[in-house]
Homo-oligomer: A and B are copies of this chain.
Amino acid sequence: MPRVAVIGASGFAGALCAAIADRHPELELTTVTARSDVGRRLEDVYPRYRVALELEEYDADRVAERADAAFVGYPHKAAAPVVRELLERGLKVVDLSADFRLDRARYERYYQPHEAPELLERAVYGLTELHRDAIREADLVAAPGCYPTAAILALAPLKGLMADAVVDAKSGVSGAGREATQSTHFVSVAENVNPYKVEGHRHRAELEQELRQDGITFTPHLLPIDQGLLASCYVRTRAELGPEELRAVFAEHYENEPFVELAPDPPGVREVRDTNLCRIHATVEPASGRVLVFSAIDNLWKGAAGQAVQDMNLMLGLEETAGLL
């Protein structure tokens, strides 16, 4: 049974990685590290996850002794050096940061100079529905951002057909991470909905790269919920599509996908809470002829930790859905 570690397990995504790995029937979670809360058992920080391991300081050699593969849950820039150290020691790595999601030019335009550019060639963008075969072969996979996950799954079936697209995305607060700030203060969020970074959120880069389409409008909004993300997508297609034709495009595209569900109605995010599902509803608005696609995920599952485990399953030759149903 492959042994895995989670580096950065005190954050929301890392902790959930650890929880899924811990219950996973075909993985053995041996090590959890963190930059804060070292010495506490993970189940004291996240009681409902019930992971009894103690959070340790990160040490590459110790991790390498104890694990065959690792999830890295550090912020971007901090992740790259750790990923390099683990790869050098022969581990397979799923990185949850942005460090290996983009080609170098895009990364450096949206983030900063890259800390480990030599690894970019080996990295695969970890959206299984787009890159399943490459992920199976990879030793470094970059789990996608939460917003791009929902938006790309909504729009991928229309790749090549789109003339223009708007993605109005709404996310729960866990997507902003565990850091306490004015933006994540309960009183700022409750009874509110707030657009933010509307002139250029970094996640746009992933949309453009993966959909190969420039000029997609992407605006994130913060919702007063903890988990859940909805992408409402508005698409002008090059040629008009009827509703039946549209449904056929989506049905064919997502046939046999274990975690994509085509829903008869626009999905609410509750429908996918604490699951690795992406629920999608596509339709044509009669009054405008525009294609509407609504895509709901749990930002911590399919938008982060669940997707990361899905990647890891493929990288280790396990059943893709293992531990995720």
Taking beta carbons and an 8 Å cutoff, which residues of A are in contact with B?
Answer: 12, 23, 44, 47-48, 50, 164, 166, 168, 170, 172-174, 178, 180-182, 184-196, 198-200, 204, 214-217, 219, 221-228, 230, 232, 234, 236, 261, 263-264, 266-275, 277, 279, 283, 285-290, 292, 294, 325
Contact = CB atoms under 8 A, between A and B. Distances in A.
Contacts of A172: 191
B195 A234 contact: no
A139 to B, nearest CB: 32
A234 B186 contact: no
Contacts of A271: 47-48
A186 B224 contact: yes
A191 B234 contact: no
The copy count of this chain in the complex is: 4
A166 to B, nearest CB: 5
B168 A274 contact: no
B272 A47 contact: yes
Contacts of A274: 48, 274
21 contacts: A47-B267, A47-B279, A173-B190, A178-B182, A178-B185, A185-B185, A186-B188, A190-B224, A190-B270, A191-B227, A192-B269, A193-B223, A193-B268, A194-B269, A195-B230, A198-B292, A198-B294, A199-B285, A215-B288, A217-B292, A234-B234
Contacts of A216: 287-288
B166 A234 contact: yes
A188 B12 CA distance: 11
B191 A286 contact: no
